């Protein structure tokens, strides 16, 4: 059991770092590219009105009403 404690102590602990800001954090590039404006427009067009909102609780009517603003700011 002592071997596992040593192993995880070495793997999980950063030695010689007093502040988290001193460590390097590497971020991966997003796997999915940012959608283009026409893709946003097509997705908004396909929304069905008078359907219950999904998890974000934003009704399709609101998204369709603000589609020009939404697509211009993306």
pTM of the model: 0.45
The alpha carbon of residue 42 and the mean position of all alpha carbons in its chain are separated, in whole angstroms, by: 21
What tens digit of pLDDT does each residue of 16-59 get? 555 555 556 666 777 777 778 888 888 888 988 888 888 888 88
**DSSP secondary-structure letter at 49?**
T
Return the SS3 of 50: coil
* Domain boundaries defined on the chain: 2-73
Structure tokens at 59: 């009704």
Q: Residue 33: what pLDDT?
A: 79
């Amino acid at each position: 059991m002592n071997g596992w404690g040593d192993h995880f102590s070495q793997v999980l602990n950063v030695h010689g770092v007093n502040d988290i800001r001193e460590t390097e954090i590497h971020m991966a590039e997003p796997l999915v590219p940012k959608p283009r404006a026409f893709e946003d427009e097509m997705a908004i067009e396909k929304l069905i009105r008078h359907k219950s909102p999904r998890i974000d609780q934003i009704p399709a009517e609101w998204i369709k009403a603000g589609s020009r603003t939404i697509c211009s700011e993306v």
